[in-house]
Amino acid sequence: MRKKPATVRIARWSATHPWSAIGLWAVFVAGCLLLGGAAGTNAISDEESGVRESGRAGRIVHSGGFPVKAEENVLVTAEDGGKLEPSAGRAVAADLGARMEALEEVQSVGDPVTAPHGKALLIPVTMKGDAENADRRVQPLLDVSAAVQDAHEGLRIDEVGTGSTAKGLSETLGEDFEKAELISLPLTLLVLLVVFGAVIAAGVPVLLALSCVGAAIGLSTLLSHALPETSAVSNVILLMGMAVGVDYSLFYLKREREERRTGKSPIGAIAVAAATSGHTVVVSGTTVIVAMAGLYLANEATFTSLATGSILVVAVAVPASLTVLPALLATLGRWVDKPKVPLLWRLTMRSGTSRVWPALLRPALSKPVVTLVASVGALLLLAAPALDMKLKQPGSDDLSRDIPVVRAMDRLTEAFPSKGTVHQVAVRAPADRADEVETALKGLLERTADDASFAHDATPRIRESADHQVHTVDVGTPHQPRSEGARASLDLLRDWVPQAMAGVPGAESAVGGKVAQGVDFTGHLEERMPWVVGFVLLLTFVTMVLIFRAPLIALSAILLNLLSAAAAFGVLVAVFQDTWAEGVLDFTSSGAVVSWLPLFLFVVLFGLSMDYHVFVVSRIREAALEGATVKDAVRAGITRSAGVVTSAALVMVGVFAIFGTLSMVEFKQLGVGLAAAILLDAVVIRIYVLPALMTVLGRWNWWPGKTRAPRHRSAR
């Protein structure tokens, strides 16, 4: 007797021992959350995340052991933007200083500094404690600044610094993500209600997906002690977890319901679902994991963290779908279809063949070559703008000016340019060369003082480490971070610093800072992207060949997913590198795409698109193995999978589109890119390109394997 597939054996055990399976899953999720919470998160440090020269600069500075203090800058200006009266400035400085020094959070208040144009006064304040958590302790300082403004009519008091900026931005981002979560969960439930027509059936995929997200976040926190994680990893886990978790449950639930309607027993229906949809879940999960593993080749700490988080949540979602989902279905029995939503229930239980999908597929099946050329041509036109893609790291000038702290930053940098865009010069040399290093740095600063590329409102201060081996100095520039002027000033410094240090034996120097990090990060990704893309394509091809035993199926899957990804990149460039969509999406175009996005989008899109592709092709293969002709197999496979794939695509497009409403431009671009790709994949690829291509290839689709001889001819 032939041994049943592992997915069936696992599902049968779970269905016949439901409480054991559910209990073990609950213990697993709770254990991950508890252990992760107890271990805490090990975040990526600046020296670990840097690449190229800016990364080297960060490591030099870190080796100096400089104390990191939370600095706040209180800016005093006239409300009407005019000249600040000296007497009024002195009165505010005295009042603010007395109030700030009375706070236990404040270490010291510096002497006030007048701006060169006389329109502003800057009062530096140093906080006590760790700079990492300054945002949680800065509120008393903000309260003092507000009270001083109330006490001095006609003046504006702005506070910008380590804690206040982080607090202002995190509050805005927190509100954004709360809004996204409040919209995405009801939207997902609404789509699932339309799919299943019953409340419990709609709730099961969401509940299972959320449990997968919770377990993966706990595991990610634990693993961060081996592979430090970025703060964005929990958001990525939520995004990927809800996408694949809901998808896998949808595949399984729809097939189980389909089999129950044919008269099979609950256990029998679960077994068939495990053999078909369960196998598809394993294949889809494997392809997503393979795609995400490509990010490790980026050789950058942030991408390593994102890859790890994504792989963890998929690796959790696959066994959840194979174990706890069958257990839940067996426990709920017929209750899974309760309580019914009257109209929706009747729609989901309609019998008979759909008329819509055969009609949509008719062009691809009757005129496959024409349909293939037309649909591929349309996607290539959409992809064309991607040829002009420009990459830049996001900066403060990408932030929405609706955020109060961002407007305060603008006023601060306008009055004191040296507080805005700053290059960090770092030098490490033997301790007995400290005097020579300092002399060389002073000569460098004299050179910058005569150049308009650099800010001259304050004299840069050279810092020396306790062991006299590391020196660092911040050099400001009056230009915005992403401007050509900022890049030009960086290029000058990177030419001048080696010249200045040429006479110091054993000196190691580098220039870092936000501008340098953006330039180096973009260059690093452009260099590594071919390796990542090649790895993903090769491993996906090998995986698909091993699964389907058909090289042409594997090759066509890769080509179609490349096509949909390219079209999505074209949409991204057309929307965000131009200005026509600024009013629609509430952003200011930087004329570029965020540099980390194409690489991340590629692997995510490749993984999620393969998710659908594997499911649809598996249903087509089922029909082909039953003896249907190629056209009939394509028609049957796509028609049978249409409801599930369309529903899953609607959920994803809806959730991803919500990200397009967030404040940060990188999240807008991420949301638009993902939503466009899934929409194109679910509509153009699945309805036109895939069926037309498979019809053209005919029996070669399954070469060198064989399918049964056709039982009947395709209807014309």
Radius of gyration for the alpha carbons in the chain, expressed in angstroms and rounded: 30
Reported as type and span, the H/E element at residue 313 is helix 301-322
The tens digit of pLDDT for each residue in 490-501 reads: 999 999 999 999
The tens digit of pLDDT for each residue in 140-187 reads: 888 988 898 888 888 888 888 888 888 887 777 666 667 776 777 788
pLDDT confidence of residue 327: 93
pLDDT band at 511 (very low <50, low <70, confident <90, very high): very high
For the chain, what is the mean pLDDT?
A: 85
Separation of alpha carbons 586 and 304, rounded Å: 31
> Peptide bond preceding 704: is omega within 30 degrees of 0, i.e. cis?
yes
Q: DSSP per residue over 526-546, as a string?
A: HHHHHHHHHHHHHHHHHHHHH
pLDDT confidence of residue 351: 54
pLDDT band at 399 (very low <50, low <70, confident <90, very high): low
Please tell me the least confidently modeled range out of 15-24, 288-297, 349-358, 682-691.
349-358
Between 475 and 162, the higher pLDDT residue = 475
The tens digit of pLDDT for each residue in 237-271 reads: 887 888 888 888 888 888 888 788 787 888 888 88
Please tell me the least confidently modeled range out of 227-241, 312-326, 370-384.
227-241
Residues 6+ apart with CB under 8 A from 309: 216, 220, 229, 233, 234, 236, 237, 240
Whole-Å CA distances, 692 to 378, 622, 635, 698: 14, 18, 11, 10
Q: What is the mean pLDDT of residues 631-655?
A: 83
pLDDT band at 701 (very low <50, low <70, confident <90, very high): confident
pLDDT confidence of residue 33: 93
pLDDT confidence of residue 372: 93
pTM attached to this predicted model: 0.81
Between 219 and 658, the higher pLDDT residue = 219
Q: Is the pLDDT of residue 714 over 60?
A: no
> In 48-187, which ranges are E strands?
71-78, 106-109, 113-114, 120-127, 155-161
Maximum CA pair distance of the chain? 97
Separation of alpha carbons 188 and 167, rounded Å: 31
Separation of alpha carbons 29 and 13, rounded Å: 20
pLDDT confidence of residue 413: 81
pLDDT confidence of residue 713: 44
Q: Is the pLDDT of residue 652 over 50?
A: yes
The answer to whether the beta carbons of residues 563 and 690 sit under 8 Å apart is no
Between 385 and 136, the higher pLDDT residue = 385
Q: What is the mean pLDDT of residues 464-472?
A: 92
Whole-Å CA distances, 316 to 19, 149, 174, 273, 713: 19, 53, 26, 19, 44
The answer to whether the beta carbons of residues 520 and 55 sit under 8 Å apart is yes
